[in-house]
Structure 1
């Protein structure tokens, strides 16, 4: 039987997030919105993008 091992999320700016299935949880839309807001507020997007080398 095939099982999901990981899910890749690719943003328009090239940022890639790999989520391993063992750590995944089902999130409702309001939780996703809260996470997005926290990331934007913390400036993590710029930090992550700036730390990755284009290749």
Structure 2
């Protein structure tokens, strides 16, 4: 639940996508809207690096 003001409440989420230079999707995350993009970026980069080293 996201609180925009005392009176306005709504469900909100963010969809984070990582793509390579050709536009191929490397990974996705869906989070609550209050999760900052930089948090997901660190997680996504770690997962991409791990999957490419396999």
TM-score, normalised to structure 2's length? 0.33
TM-score, normalised to structure 1's length? 0.32
More strand by share: 2
